[in-house]
Structure 1
Amino acid sequence: MEVKHAEDAQAQKKQKRQLTRKPLIFNIFTQSCCNTQPAGLWSYPGDVSSQYTTLEYWEKLAKKAEEAKFNAIFIADVLGPYDIYHGPRNYSYVAKAGTQFPGIDPAIPISAMAAVTKSVGFGITFSTISEHPYLLARKLATLDQMTGGRVGWNIVSSYLDSASRNLLNGGQLPNKLARYEKTDEYVQVVAELMLSSFREDALKADPKTKTFIDPDLVRPINFEGEWYKVPGPAYTSPSPQGIPVLFEAGISKGGVELASKWSEVAFSTGSTPAMLRFKTDRIRECAQSRYGRDWNDVKILAFVMVIVSDTEAKAWEKFNRYADAADPDAALAMVCGWTSADFTEYADDFDLLQSSNGMHRDIVKHFCNSLLDKGPITKKDLGRHVSVKGNADLIIGSVDQVVQKLIDYVEIGGADGFNFASAINPDSYDELIDLVIPKLKAKGLFWDDYPVPGGTLRENLTGVKGASHLGKHHPAYGYRWTSDLSREEFEQQFDSYKKELRKKQGDAYEQGAK
């Protein structure tokens, strides 16, 4: 939304980049609730989303993803309902539609999903306001152990007051500056607990000496920051990846800074490939200039929804069938929750593109990019459009059109792959698998099999067997207590490493939040 037309035009002039990664990263996007992005489409004939409270639902999804060779199933999460549309605290619209409310803990089904698969990964969203970092470090390590190293952590700091009221003793979320600084410190605590508490060979399990963990190879982290004081050590021994693959959605300025520092995979939307390119370059430039990371260290995934048919006209007919069955009011409630923009002030027949509020116009252009050449956009149009696609970029057309649009997101937009949302579950996933992926595979953009079958998520993301741990350019690479260092050597080296990292960071989050 903040991308201006001038920046869009400038991005369009950039030369298409050569594909730097073949094949692309493909994730199934879902959520631990009934609807993910659509509003009320759980009731559409054949949709199975309402079965999300059963293990069978998650096991089937995991098997489908692995059979189709997706990198991972990415599970989004929110911790409160969207309740400001016709509010305050009015969650009736999303409750009636089952839209991202109610929901379950996304961590619970993972072990069952891992038990029926061997290679597909699981990206799980955990907010930094939901629990203490000491507890999350244990949860992440446990999940990594139970899955054989197939877990990723999507780092979020939450954005809904409906969540903060319940998790922060009735308080509000911190301002942007404090939120990003606190999240940065939170991730540091988790990384130190998981990587610096135990030397990587501390686990002996030696019956002859009756030594399970060598106590000389365990150390407290003695973390003391502005928000957290955590002496440690971690409660859980080292997991296969040391720390799960780190995901983050870098959109705001402070979010870009956070993603540039910590993420291995960042998510974004662009409305158009050119707009996405502006965002992908911003993340990579920050990662390179501030943290010395290679340009391609941070993989960027575009968040898209594909609606495909024999022709573009038939694809739009399908979209309209979905929109007729969806709940536009629940969709408007989501838009208000995502953007804090109140559209209730506008008459039903008012063209939102003519609003005197520039932010509101930008929001409408972001969510309804594919409608901009079709005339006025009313509140009803906004709700109807979002009721199917949610916050994902809509890619709609014939098979060949969809394939080319996806390639444009890579060549023009700078994407390394995609998070694929569904309009109808499982139909949207099945159409992607049956119609689109074979065409991409024929172009060399989708693999025949996992490069490391049975390997860790990080190995299959990088395509390198043995690359289970953070890469050498990642800021937390030096957090790992390796087997070649004594405790004294590690602590001396680690202290110097952290000082240098703090020097690099400087006042990054203060600048990013302005």
Structure 2
Amino acid sequence: MRELTMMQHDDRYALAEEYVKVTYKLWESSWRQDAVVLDRERGIYTDPTRVRQINHVGKYFNVPGPHLCQPSPQRTPVILQAGTSKAGKTFAAQHAEAIFVAGHSPSVVAKNVAEIRQLAKTEFGRDPRSIKFLALLCPVLGHTEEEAVEKFKYYRSLGSIDGALALFGGWTGIDLNKYGDDEELRHVESNAIRSAVEGWSKATPEVAKWTKATVGQHITVGGLGATPVGTAAQVADNMERWVQEADVDGFNLAYAIKPGSFLDIIELLIPELRRRGLFWDDYAVPKGTYRENLYSQAGQSGPRDDHPASRYRWKAGVASADHPVPEN
């Protein structure tokens, strides 16, 4: 683990790139689709001629294989990814099926979403709409706007500014302690800090000055994601704005308190979203796999044809020699 944490950022993505290809080989290329026979009369579970080693030899891993058990119905599980650095965007555009994104305003997130969709199309031949983006959102809900505002003030009063700044440093790699208590962060030399503060300023223009204490207070509730405060209708309006302006497909709902935040979502927000036709009443594919329901498409249990994992699949009836394990 120490060696991993000391690796350069791009090197970590190179390791991840090799790792994901090893797993594609194990999940998709080791067992042929018809390897499992389940012949109880003859006592045959698997035809051994339809299971093979992958014999991967790489920079970071040597994995002979084979996959140790029958693959799941999805084989390759749905790949969710977080991270929007330059290397992270490239990795996501090639491999991710859903991506967690965070920002305090839709305009900040929209740029990353558009860039990844474009990369997926032009560099990797994927349908950019097949990649789902999930925005981090921590709604603070009340039956009235006044009730929601009072909740939000109370939640903030429980937070630790020092603890929030420590989390911020861990999340972003940015140490704000080197700046003065009253220093305006919109004027510092760091592009990363100025960009982050600019995003927060757009979401909360009522804040006159952004200091490290302001940043700490801002992320005590909701972290690096948006924190809409209001009635169910007001929060639903906010969510619709995110979909329209940031081009996200859904939300990763966070909580201020547990289980209170989730109870408010269940009792107040979901009925409002359903009234607007924005939240499902049942699974799109009842009893289907996660991927079938992600795409609302029965039968899409495995990766789509334009996903890199699909070319690793050893299909039923195909001889091993006719479908060698892909090298890359």
Fold shared, TM-score > 0.5 on shorter chain:
yes
Measured in 1, the distance between the counterparts of 2:169 and 2:137 equals 20
Are the equivalent residues in 1 in contact too, given 2:221–2:227 (CA < 8 A)? Answer: no
What is the CA deviation profile of residues 182-232 of structure 1, one whole-angstrom value per residue up to 9, with x for unaligned ones? 111100001111111011221223233222221100111121222222121
The one-letter code of the counterpart of 1:421 is A
Q: After TM superposition, where is structure 1 displaced by more than 6 Å over at least 4 residues in a row?
A: none
Identity %: 36
SS across alignment from 2:182: coil
**Aligned match of 1:462 in 287, 292, 295?**
295
Aligned equivalent of 1:43:
none
Query: Shift of the alpha carbon at 1:299?
Result: 0.8
Aligned equivalent of 1:216:
49
The one-letter code of the counterpart of 1:285 is Q
Aligned equivalent of 2:235:
402
Measured in 2, the distance between the counterparts of 1:455 and 1:309 equals 35
Aligned equivalent of 2:282:
449
SS across alignment from 2:178: coil
Give the TM-score normalised by structure 2: 0.93
Aligned equivalent of 1:199:
32
Measured in 2, the distance between the counterparts of 1:280 and 1:345 equals 32
Aligned equivalent of 1:283:
116
Report whether the alignment pairs 1:298 with 2:131: yes
Query: Shift of the alpha carbon at 1:265?
Result: 0.6
Are the equivalent residues in 2 in contact too, given 1:368–1:382 (CA < 8 A)? Answer: no
Unpaired stretches in structure 2, ≥5 consecutive residues: none
Measured in 2, the distance between the counterparts of 1:297 and 1:347 equals 45
The one-letter code of the counterpart of 1:471 is R
- Structure 1 residues 250 and 484: CA distance shift in structure 2, 3 A: farther
Are the equivalent residues in 2 in contact too, given 1:269–1:303 (CA < 8 A)? Answer: yes
- Structure 1 residues 272 and 290: CA distance shift in structure 2, 3 A: same
Measured in 2, the distance between the counterparts of 1:424 and 1:287 equals 37
Measured in 2, the distance between the counterparts of 1:335 and 1:475 equals 34
Map residues 337-356 of structure 1 onto 2, 5 A cutoff: 337-356=170-189
Give the TM-score normalised by structure 1: 0.61
Map residues 4-19 of structure 1 onto 2, 5 A cutoff: none
Aligned equivalent of 1:273:
106
Aligned equivalent of 1:362:
195
Are the equivalent residues in 1 in contact too, given 2:32–2:51 (CA < 8 A)? Answer: yes
Measured in 2, the distance between the counterparts of 1:231 and 1:366 equals 48
SS across alignment from 1:300: strand
What is the CA deviation profile of residues 69-116 of structure 1, one whole-angstrom value per residue up to 9, with x for unaligned ones? xxxxxxxxxxxxxxxxxxxxxxxxxxxxxxxxxxxxxxxxxxxxxxxx
Aligned equivalent of 1:414:
247
Query: Shift of the alpha carbon at 1:350?
Result: 3.2
The one-letter code of the counterpart of 1:179 is R
- Structure 1 residues 216 and 358: CA distance shift in structure 2, 3 A: closer
Measured in 2, the distance between the counterparts of 1:364 and 1:412 equals 19
**Aligned match of 2:96 in 258, 263, 283?**
263
Query: Shift of the alpha carbon at 1:355?
Result: 3.1
Measured in 1, the distance between the counterparts of 2:244 and 2:200 equals 23
Map residues 288-327 of structure 1 onto 2, 5 A cutoff: 288-327=121-160
Map residues 84-163 of structure 1 onto 2, 5 A cutoff: none
Query: Shift of the alpha carbon at 1:270?
Result: 3.2
- Structure 1 residues 180 and 357: CA distance shift in structure 2, 3 A: closer
SS across alignment from 2:243: helix
